[in-house]
């Protein structure tokens, strides 16, 4: 017999007994004893009705709106496993363009999961504010039958909120992963108008699941269960944390945090029973979104020891690269300070003599088309931008001479190779123009390069130098004319004369400061970060060496004026 039927029978019997008492009727003892047992049973299952009015009202309500039958309570891990396994492609994440399209429909409910103070400072127009910790207490504000998009500051809270709502059955919820930071970065408008929002019917939810989700949300500590820095991650690892990469296997194989194990997000469902409860667990992915989803799901499943590293593999990789990166400022600074007399430059006669006596390797660093039109006999061709990619063609135990069209690229190449460790490299400063001007022999026969093998150099340094060379723009970082120099100075450029002090005192470009090349590293703090810097000398050679050195140090705003002081002086007197 159902609870409702038993309830109705009890009320009917009670009414009958009251009627008999009122009419003076009396039942015999046996009859009363027969009814006593079922009445006692009914009282255990149904609340005592204080008077006839309440009992009638209760009956009326039950007839008009039958009480909902509670759904059977399943193990929370079953819900979590099902949710993880069925996460759709795209991981419920919405990027900027997709988010704006959703907003344009006017049909979605947008929820800002940040704290009220954050919301009040500016939010997406039309968004309502339900702080993450209060999400399960405000389900009546969240529809189950229309699009819902949640967001926070950077995407981490939104990922956890998405997992929480999806577990509760809101399969219409997605996350705007870039968060308010991405919205601002795209220069999208913010609103400070408070939005109340509507109310909706709350779907039937398993009570135990709801309690688990609510307990997770309401107990999220300060910091939102996130490790902010690589140092925080390293500390966790040092204390024995398990690191789980929730990306796909192909992503993991391409590069992963050292010591991490790969359990793709959807596969976590099969590993719930194997995850430790007494060991800290850190999850990460590529952008933080999948890690936030995993954190929310695992926390609901009872893994209060789970944390997320939102920076993910890219943040860790960048930190490792920075840690392993050479100190180019110190390295290149030492090179500049110790440049020998003559600045590693050869003139025509010295170059010709070297060719006759020492059998040097001569490298033409011009483009292939320039080399094909004519070059120094015996020279091989390694274009400047590819120099660091061809170190196996450049020996360290015999003389090496580089040249180009006018000497500028040769100066850059000299600094590049010297920085990598080739102390045997010099520049034929007059280069192709000087060679042909002296009517020296010319060849058009291509020379096949000999492979000497990779030199024993710091490959991290070579990579830094190679990055600079490969990204030299068209124009080779030069300011061509005196008029161009003057225009740059008028616009605020800093002009540096890298000649010796005596040369500077004998005459220099108006407004220039004198930092001789060997002393330049002492003046790095005086170089502006947001202003063009132009270096010059007497012939362009020292300026090219300096330009290459400063670029390798990270001063990307530096240019060279190859014509130097003579070209400036000629323009002024002409």
Would you say 461 and 329 are in contact if contact means Cβ atoms under 8 Å apart?
Answer: no
In the structure, what pLDDT confidence band is assigned to residue 74 with cuts at 50, 70 and 90?
low
3-state secondary structure of 174: strand
Q: What is the CATH number of domain 328-470?
A: 3.40.250.10
Indicate the average pLDDT of the chain.
88
Taking the CA of residue 189 as centre, how many other CA atoms within 13 Å lie in the half-sphere pointing to its CB? 6
pLDDT at 58 over 50: no
Would you say 477 and 547 are in contact if contact means Cβ atoms under 8 Å apart?
Answer: yes
pLDDT score for 21: 36
> From CA 213, how far away is CA 225, in angstroms rounded?
15
Strands (E), 207-259: 242-245
In the structure, what pLDDT confidence band is assigned to residue 193 with cuts at 50, 70 and 90?
very high
Domain segments of the chain as ranges: 3-64, 77-324, 328-470, 482-573
Q: Are strands 425-428 and 281-284 parallel, antiparallel or unpaired?
A: unpaired
SS3 helix, strand, coil % of the chain, rounded to 5? 50, 10, 40
DSSP state of 520: G
Q: Which of 543, 550, 536 is CA-nearest to residue 507?
A: 536
pLDDT score for 145: 95
Q: Could you report the per-residue pLDDT of 492-531, keeping only the tens digit for each? A: 999 999 999 999 999 999 999 999 999 999 999 999 988 9
Q: Could you report the per-residue pLDDT of 111-156, keeping only the tens digit for each? A: 999 999 999 999 999 999 999 999 999 999 999 999 999 999 999 9
Task: Quote the tokens at residue 545.
Answer: 């060496």
pLDDT score for 22: 40
3-state secondary structure of 560: strand
For the chain, give the number of residues: 574
3-state secondary structure of 266: helix
pLDDT score for 3: 36
Q: State the sign of the Cα–Cα–Cα–Cα dihedral 417, 419, 424, 425.
A: positive
> From CA 533, how far away is CA 551, in angstroms rounded?
11
Residue 322's CB is within 10 A of a number of other CB atoms, namely: 9
Residue carrying the six token digits 């952008």: 287
Q: Could you report the per-residue pLDDT of 424-471, keeping only the tens digit for each? A: 999 999 999 999 999 999 999 999 999 999 999 999 899 999 999 999
pLDDT at 81 over 80: yes
3-state secondary structure of 5: helix
The yes/no answer on whether domain 77-324 falls in CATH 3.40.250.10 is yes
Q: Can you identify the CATH homologous superfamily of domain 482-573?
A: Rhodanese-like domain (3.40.250.10)
Question: Cα-Cα-Cα-Cα dihedral of 203, 206, 208, 214, to 10°?
Answer: -20
User: What is the CA angle 506-509-510, rounded to 5?
Assistant: 110
Q: Could you report the per-residue pLDDT of 303-362, keeping only the tens digit for each? A: 999 999 999 999 999 998 877 778 899 999 999 999 999 999 999 999 999 999 888 999
pLDDT at 263 over 70: yes
pTM (2 decimals)?
0.58
pLDDT at 2 over 90: no
pLDDT score for 65: 33
């Amino acid at each position: 017999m159902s609870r409702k039927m038993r309830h109705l029978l009890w009320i009917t019997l009670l009414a009958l007994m009251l009627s008999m008492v009122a009419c003076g009727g009396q039942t015999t003892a046996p009859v009363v004893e027969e009814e006593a047992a079922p009445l006692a049973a009914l009282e255990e299952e149904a609340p005592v009705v204080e008077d006839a009015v309440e009992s009638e009202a209760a009956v009326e309500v039950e007839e008009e709106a039958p009480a909902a039958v509670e759904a059977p309570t399943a193990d929370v891990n079953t819900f979590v496993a099902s949710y993880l396994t069925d996460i759709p492609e795209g991981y419920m994440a919405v990027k900027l363009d997709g988010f704006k399209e959703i907003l344009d429909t006017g049909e979605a409910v947008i929820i800002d999961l940040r704290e009220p103070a954050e919301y009040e400072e500016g939010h997406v127009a039309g968004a309502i504010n339900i702080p993450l910790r209060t999400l399960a207490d405000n389900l009546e504000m969240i529809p189950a039958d229309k699009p819902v998009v949640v967001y926070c500051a950077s995407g981490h809270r939104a990922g956890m909120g998405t997992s929480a709502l999806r577990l509760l059955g809101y399969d219409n919820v997605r996350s705007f992963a870039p968060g308010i930071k991405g919205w601002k970065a795209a220069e999208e408008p913010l609103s400070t108008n408070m939005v109340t929002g509507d109310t909706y019917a709350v779907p039937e939810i398993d009570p135990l699941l709801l309690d688990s989700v609510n307990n997770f949300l309401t107990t999220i500590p300060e910091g939102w269960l996130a490790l902010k820095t690589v140092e925080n991650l390293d500390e966790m690892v040092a204390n024995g944390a398990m690191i789980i990469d929730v990306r796909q296997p192909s992503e993991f194989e391409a590069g992963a945090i050292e010591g991490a194990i790969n359990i793709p997000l959807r596969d976590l469902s099969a590993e719930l029973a194997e995850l430790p409860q007494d060991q800290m667990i850190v999850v990460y992915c590529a952008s933080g979104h999948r890690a936030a989803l995993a954190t929310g799901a695992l926390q609901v499943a009872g893994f209060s020891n789970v944390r997320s590293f939102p920076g993910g593999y890219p943040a860790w990789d960048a930190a490792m690269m920075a840690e392993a990166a050479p100190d180019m400022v110190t390295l290149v600074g030492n090179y500049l300070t110790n440049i020998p007399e003559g600045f590693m430059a050869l003139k025509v006669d010295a170059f010709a003599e070297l060719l006759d006596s020492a059998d040097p390797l001569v490298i033409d660093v011009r483009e292939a088309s320039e080399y094909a039109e004519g070059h120094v006999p015996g020279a091989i061709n390694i274009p400047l931008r590819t120099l660091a990619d061809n170190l196996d063609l450049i020996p360290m135990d015999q003389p090496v001479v580089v040249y180009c069209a006018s000497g500028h690229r040769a100066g850059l190449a000299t600094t590049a190779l010297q920085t990598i460790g080739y102390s045997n490299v010099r520049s034929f400063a007059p280069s192709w123009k000087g060679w042909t001007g002296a009517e020296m022999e010319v060849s058009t026969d291509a020379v096949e390069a000999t492979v000497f093998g990779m030199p024993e150099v710091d490959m991290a340094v070579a990579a830094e130098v190679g990055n600079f060379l490969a990204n030299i723009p068209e124009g080779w970082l030069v300011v061509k004319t005196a008029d161009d120099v003057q225009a740059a100075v008028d616009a605020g450029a800093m002009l540096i004369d890298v000649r010796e002090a005596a040369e500077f005192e004998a005459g220099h470009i108006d407004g220039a400061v004198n930092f001789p090349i060997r002393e330049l590293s002492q003046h790095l703090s005086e170089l502006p970060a947001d202003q063009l810097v132009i270096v010059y000398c007497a012939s362009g050679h020292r300026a090219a060496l300096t330009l290459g050195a400063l670029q390798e140090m990270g001063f990307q705003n530096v240019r060279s004026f190859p014509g130097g002081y003579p070209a400036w002086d000629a323009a002024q007197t002409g």
